[in-house]
Structure 1
């Protein structure tokens, strides 16, 4: 890249703009002179001479307009255009100066206009050369007046004009040179900043971690492609269009941001960073994805860093996003690997008693004839089959076995599950309430979904009050890409500390639990292209206030061809 200071004057836009300004100023001065001589032509006794001066000014105005048009549309040979204009200006002003009576006319000050242009646009030597010519013209005219005694003038007045012109042009030329150097420096700094910004954008765009730049009010100012992929949204650079708080899907990030801001006091380090973990549902995942579970939720590690500057009215905060879903999966696999053989051995030992129970139930069915007894035997057989299938699922989790997904209508499927649950757990008919889901259809392995729902509802039975409607199953479709099934009870919500480890294998808060129920339920959802999580939603309490309410949420992905989940119109 050519340095600005080394560019020829013909290629510098600044010089051409200055020349155009010079031409515009000439037109203004000529118009003022034209008005001045026009008034004199009306009042003067020698109308012929005044009219001649007026005609000279009119011709000067036309030429000045021509110079302006030429400098605007023909930006070549700057010095040739400048010299031509200077020669014409000095000649025209000299003609008016001499024709108007010399020094007594007061028109000598007009020479300062072309000389100032030469001082700004031409080198110092050339500018002083034109000053010398003007000074000689002034002295020559004074000597002519003195020799022929045409007026009461002295050469000293012309000499003072010349000395003043020399001093003014020298100062103007030096100031112009200093301004040009400052412009060169500013232009160089601007190119350096643009280059650095281009490098920063290239590096940030190629980063695997996401980056968001937000204001104190969570307004998003910038983000890299990795952040756009994690959040499922496009971010216009430098053009804030929304806030984190405006999008419900990004609410966990906004909450973590506000929580990070609270402990920061006046004496805290401005560049200190904090981190937290959140799980979000991307706003939109319309692009191709190899992993369907990434379309439903993303587990992100957030790290905050404040950027403060005296030149900014509002501080900026950089949020670093790291997708830890894969790291989380690897950690869980490592945790399970050490107990893989033990789990397989236990599953083998459990399967043998189940086989004995199943065989004994079959033998009993041949002797029992009472309907009640047969119904009990059917319950035993069904649960033996279900337990055996659950053992198979536990053994297949690490292998991510292929599922036999079938189209299921949620309303009829859940109704069957609840009927069975009421019979086996002696649940009151009105204790579990289910919202209308007649038009919702999903593609899910029936036995897998049965295990997930039974696990969640059984868990809710332990904490619900037992009142009518204390357990609720609700279906909702917040976006065209998602279908959600909520399982909620009126018991106390799970604390955030427990929620952070809720789906970890072998983690349990009950002395009788194994810590595998929710982990298996989530893995079954993931294997069927769905996502299970525990979420907090705002609900109206009895006194009309919004309060956070916890519930388990199964999120089904809606495929673009409608094959995974969707609304089935009857």
Structure 2
């Protein structure tokens, strides 16, 4: 790299944005003056040998060119020092340009030599960085100098061969070109300023869009036309369990399940709208796809990932609100006649002349009236649970306290009948404490009825763990009973499903509803060593949505 280019590059770093249309053009124009001065000095010295000139006044050409070269060098340092001011330097150098080129033209024989075109170039360059008034003044000044040189040549030194018409035409060209270049430069500067403003607005809009996308609760994945990840927000990272930089990575390598849904969407298969899990312990996600670009030029794909747990929470809250209205009607329409039936059965049972078969019938009436009343109470309890109020819970501390209370109520041996296992010392979850107590109590009470442990073994096992990939804690409630058949697994969470004559079939249905209201999941897993395992998978504490 040459020293001059190094200085120019270094100088660029000193320029302010406004300098790009002021000092910087002046800087480069000074290099043009130096180059022009060097060329004319060489022509004055070696023009005859190289046959670069005709009848030229060599001493005048050499003197004027050397002076112009020195002016250009001094002007470079003047720009660096910013002294004198910008306007003073432009005006001074413009006058020098006009006088120098006029002397060169005169030394070469006048306007007919063709060197006058350099004056057009000089005025065009100065017009880029001067005001309109200054451009008009210096263009007229240059025109008068050209015409004055012609008058001097013809009248004072008696050279009749020079052309007045050429000088007049040159003066006119200088004036027209200077004004045209100035107006064009103004238009270009306005366009450049407008483009810079639009570019700044676009950059701000892109930055704002990226920020909004990253803060959205909905997962967003943007793919390029090669189905490679271009952008993924924080919600999608958590939902898909991504770590590290995945931009530029093919979607099939990031999440094969999502890639298969994308392929199904492109081919129009209905499986594109089915839910999926990025891993065994991750949440259920529902993808939505949108094409980016036009039909003629597809630039990529936009993928929305909906958290089914969050959607289920909203649906559960709406369902509970509707159920509250329904149960108010049930309490009035069912419990009143039910009370009358139960009371009539009691009065009938007190009659002295009833046979044993009649007493058996009154007992059936009382028993089933109580069962219907229990069903109504359970439904009322579900409707009264209302909106969940999740709080931070240290699951280890909470579970130790729960086990103590449960064992005391069920008359169990705390050290033998219930085993607890904790994967970590501290696991924080979000859940409504009252509803969590109700869910775990219900499942433990059911498990205790069916559990058939070996001699000296625990009747229940409560296991707390944490899945790092999905960042979700879980609680396994395991009993050692006969388990649930494959045919019945899908129905255990349906309302009123039970195999017992005493049960209502609402316990697990209520428990799952309460879990969904807290963005958690309740699932059945076959226990490894037999029995049943009900797993509560808690919400990701990083992405917990507020209750509705």
TM-score range, shorter chain: 0.5 to 0.7
**TM-fit CA distance, 1:69:** 5.2
8 Å contact 2:289–2:301 — kept in the other structure? Answer: yes
Call closer, same or farther: CA 1:556–1:227 in 2, change over 3 Å: closer
SS in structure 1 of the partner of residue 478 of structure 2: helix
1:199 and 2:208 correspond: yes
Call closer, same or farther: CA 1:533–1:101 in 2, change over 3 Å: farther
Structure 1: distance between partners of 2:81 and 2:243: 43
Which position in structure 1 is the counterpart of 2:133? 125
Call closer, same or farther: CA 1:503–1:55 in 2, change over 3 Å: farther
* Cα distance per residue 1:155-200 (max 9 Å; x no partner): 2221111012122222222222221222122122223323333433
**TM-fit CA distance, 1:521:** 13
SS in structure 2 of the partner of residue 211 of structure 1: strand
Which position in structure 2 is the counterpart of 1:246? 253
Q: 1:83-482, aligned counterparts within 5 Å? A: 83-147=91-155, 148-233=157-242, 240-247=247-254, 250-263=255-268, 275-281=273-279, 296-309=281-294, 314-328=298-312, 399-401=438-440, 448=478, 455=483, 459=486
Q: Which has the higher contact order (CA 8 A, sep 6+)?
A: 2
Call closer, same or farther: CA 1:194–1:397 in 2, change over 3 Å: closer
8 Å contact 1:503–1:518 — kept in the other structure? Answer: no
Structure 1: distance between partners of 2:26 and 2:372: 88
Count how many residue pairs are aligned between Structure 1 and Structure 2: 382
Q: Please say which structure displays the higher CA radius of gyration.
A: 2
Structure 1: distance between partners of 2:56 and 2:147: 28
8 Å contact 2:33–2:72 — kept in the other structure? Answer: yes
SS in structure 2 of the partner of residue 303 of structure 1: strand
Which position in structure 2 is the counterpart of 1:424? none
8 Å contact 1:297–1:531 — kept in the other structure? Answer: no
Gaps of 5+ in 2: 1-15, 328-369, 376-416, 419-434, 443-452, 455-472, 526-532, 539-548
Which position in structure 2 is the counterpart of 1:506? 494
**RMSD in angstroms over aligned alpha carbons?**
5.4
Q: 1:499-538, aligned counterparts within 5 Å? A: 505-506=493-494
Structure 1: distance between partners of 2:236 and 2:440: 32
Match of 2:30 among 23, 39, 49: 23
8 Å contact 1:305–1:318 — kept in the other structure? Answer: yes
8 Å contact 2:275–2:286 — kept in the other structure? Answer: yes
Call closer, same or farther: CA 1:508–1:87 in 2, change over 3 Å: farther
SS in structure 2 of the partner of residue 505 of structure 1: coil
* Cα distance per residue 1:189-236 (max 9 Å; x no partner): 223323333433343333222222112432111233322332333687
Structure 1: distance between partners of 2:307 and 2:372: 30
Query: TM-score, with normalisation over the residues of structure 1?
Result: 0.53
* Cα distance per residue 1:53-90 (max 9 Å; x no partner): 33543443343244345546749943333223212222
* Cα distance per residue 1:87-130 (max 9 Å; x no partner): 22223223333334333543211111220012222123321221
Call closer, same or farther: CA 1:450–1:47 in 2, change over 3 Å: farther
